[in-house]
Amino acid sequence: MGDLRGRLGDAVAALGLPRILIFAFLVLTWLVAALATDLPLPGLLRDSIVRTGQNGVLVLALVPMVRAGSGLNFGLPLGIVCGLAGCVLAMERGLAGAPMLAVATLVSLPCAALAGLGYALLLERVRGQEMMVGIYVGFGAVALASVAWLVAPVTSPDLIWPVGGRGVRYLVAVDSAFAVSISVWRPAGIAALVAVWLGACALVALFSRTLAGASLDAAGQNERLALAAGIPVRRLRRLGVILSTVLAAFGIVIFTHGQGLLPLYKAPLLMALPAVAALLLGGATIARASVWNAVVGTFLFQALLASGLPVVNALVHQSAQSAALKDFPEVARLIVANGIILYALTRKG
């Protein structure tokens, strides 16, 4: 009996009290949904899983840089923009579904690697202020990309701006490789999405177990020790940034196939902070993160938003409010995501 309690205590400590509490809150939300509203519970659960799968790799992308000691990658939009470029190129060729996913990935990965290298070289010179500079790299990348989307010489009718003959329009629909139309999912599709996400997670976890990964971890945990042990710290930190950018590119390709839309123009900016919040929610800090943090955090964050908001909507029940509440999910996301990040920033160390 004592051993069971000890084991339980260890499990709780390993997961962390905050996460247990949030999970409990989530379960409570589902109970309320099932019992007190006429929202379909299977639908809420399905939405939670789908959103987790489509956002998962973006959150995962943050892990390598934290482990390498470069902090939270607020410059995620750089990799995102590379991924979007790949998608646009693939769609311009007329591709859709799985082929589009494959080609977009193949095109954007090298592009992201190169961009990541440039980003890494910049971050090297600004050691200690990576997060701040990262935010601006993200802004800059999005701004440049926006101008690029505006003037891009695309011809595909799926992409082109209705007026003027060039440029990519704001809302571009994507034919998902996971066999879905915007609101209809098949179990096989969901399973495939989740499998891709978890596969990426497994790869990143495996990397930690390689010599390079172990060295990268050491470099991030204690730079001086790593130097004294002959570990090439700067090279590994660069690798961390490149990995992060490449994963972000892949992550956005997956995302578009989950969401069914290309998040062009300003949209990538709205994706970086929630990803960071999700990772922090999963138990990571500015100095330490694991694949497990990314997995747990993505699920909790997305499930919270996917389940919690409709439930709150339904409970607050006045039809006069419903038009105004259309924007509530976005606002709530803003508040929750930024609140989490703020908490992490104001903690010691």
Partner 1 sequence: MSSGGEEGGGLVLEMKGISKAYYGNRVLDGVDLSLGRGEIVALVGENGAGKSTLMNILFGMPAIRDTGGHEGEIRVGGRPVRIDSPRRALDLGIGMVHQEFMLLRTFTAAENVKLNREPLRPSLLSRALGAAGLGAGGAALATVDRAALREQARGALDRVGLSSLDELARVAGLPVAHQQLIEIAREVDKTGTKVLVLDEPTAVLAEGEARELLDVLRRLAGEGIGILFISHRLEEVLAVADRVVVLRDGQVVESKPARETSVEEVAERMVGRRIEMGERLGRPLAELRTTAPAPDAGDVHLSLRDLAVDMPGETLRGIDLDVRRGEVLGLAGLAGGGKVALANGLLGLHPGRAREATLWGRPLPLGSAAGCLARGIAFVSEDRRGTGLLLDASIARNITVAAMRARRRFLRLAALGPLALVDGAAERAWAREMIGRFDIRCTGPDQPVRRLSGGNQQKVCLARAFTLEPELLLVNEPTRGIDVGAKRTVLESIVERNRRDGTTIVMASSELAELRLVCDRIAVLADGRLAGVLAPDAPDLHFGLLMAGKPCPAQAAA
Partner 2 sequence: MTEAAERLRQNLVPLLFAAVCAAGIAASEKSGAFYANEVIARTARNALIVLSLVIPIVAGLGLNFGIVIGAMAGQIGVVLVENQVGLGPGGAPEGGIQGLPGLALAAAISVPTASVAGWLVGLTLDRARGREMIAGMVLGFFANGLYQLLFLLLAGPVIPIRNPRLLLPQGTGLRNTVDLIGIKESLDSLAKLRVPLAEGGFPLLVIPVATFLVVLLFAAALAWFQRTKLGHDLRAVGQDLHVAEILGIDVRRKRITAMILSTVLGALGQVVFLHNIGTLNTYQSHEQVGFYAIAALLVGGATVERATIGQALLGTVLFHTLVTVVAVVGQELLPDRPQVGEYLRELLAYAIIGITLAIHAWKKAREARRSS
Residues of this chain that interact with partner 1 (CB under 8 A) are 206, 209-212, 214-215, 217-218, 221-222, 224-225, 227-232, 288
Smaller CB separation from partner 2, 21 or 342: 342
We find the least distance from the C-beta atom of residue 91 to partner 1, in angstroms, to be: 34
Q: Per the structure block, which two tokens stand in for 232?
A: 């090439």
Q: What are phi and psi of 160, to 5 degrees?
A: -75, 150
Looking at residue 304, its amino acid is L
Q: What are phi and psi of 184, to 5 degrees?
A: -120, 120
Applying CB under 8 A, does 225 fall inside the site for partner 2? no
Applying CB under 8 A, does 129 fall inside the site for partner 2? yes
Residues in CB range of 323: below 8 A, 6 or more apart: none
Residue 173 three-state SS = strand
Applying CB under 8 A, does 164 fall inside the site for partner 2? yes
Answer for which of 57, 66, 104, 133 binds partner 2 (CB under 8 A) is 133
CA pair distance 175, 258, nearest whole angstrom: 10
We find the least distance from the C-beta atom of residue 348 to partner 2, in angstroms, to be: 9
Give the residue among 206, 200, 203, 61 at the shortest CA–CA distance from 119.
Answer: 61
Smaller CB separation from partner 2, 193 or 269: 269
Out of partner 1, partner 2, none, what residue 232 binds, judged by CB under 5 to 8 A for its kind, is partner 1
Smaller CB separation from partner 1, 19 or 67: 67
Applying CB under 8 A, does 167 fall inside the site for partner 2? yes
Applying CB under 8 A, does 121 fall inside the site for partner 2? no
Smaller CB separation from partner 2, 50 or 337: 337
Out of partner 2, partner 1, none, what residue 273 binds, judged by CB under 5 to 8 A for its kind, is partner 2
Q: Which stretch binds partner 2 (CB under 8 A): 42-50, 173-181, 198-206, 327-335?
A: 327-335
CA pair distance 255, 262, nearest whole angstrom: 9
Smaller CB separation from partner 1, 15 or 34: 15
**Total residues at interface with partner 2 (CB under 8 A):** 42
Residue 47 three-state SS = helix
Smaller CB separation from partner 1, 129 or 210: 210
- Where helices occur in 41-96 by DSSP H, the ranges are 41-60, 63-67, 76-92
**Cα separations (Å) of 62 from 105, 108, 307?**
18, 18, 25
Out of partner 2, partner 1, none, what residue 5 binds, judged by CB under 5 to 8 A for its kind, is none
CA pair distance 231, 221, nearest whole angstrom: 12
Out of partner 2, partner 1, none, what residue 167 binds, judged by CB under 5 to 8 A for its kind, is partner 2
Applying CB under 8 A, does 173 fall inside the site for partner 2? no
Looking at residue 56, its amino acid is G
We find the least distance from the C-beta atom of residue 15 to partner 1, in angstroms, to be: 17
Q: Per the structure block, which two tokens stand in for 23?
A: 């999970």
Applying CB under 8 A, does 334 fall inside the site for partner 2? yes
**Cα separations (Å) of 109 from 115, 203, 218, 295, 329?**
10, 16, 26, 22, 32
Smaller CB separation from partner 1, 18 or 232: 232
Strand intervals (E) in 67-132 = none
Residue with tokens 């509490």: 21
Q: What angle do CA 30, 31, 33 make, to 5 degrees?
A: 60
Contact set with partner 2 (CB under 8 A): 74, 122, 125-129, 131-133, 135-137, 139-140, 143-144, 146-147, 150-151, 163-164, 167, 273, 320-321, 323-325, 327-328, 331-332, 334-335, 338-339, 341-342, 345-346
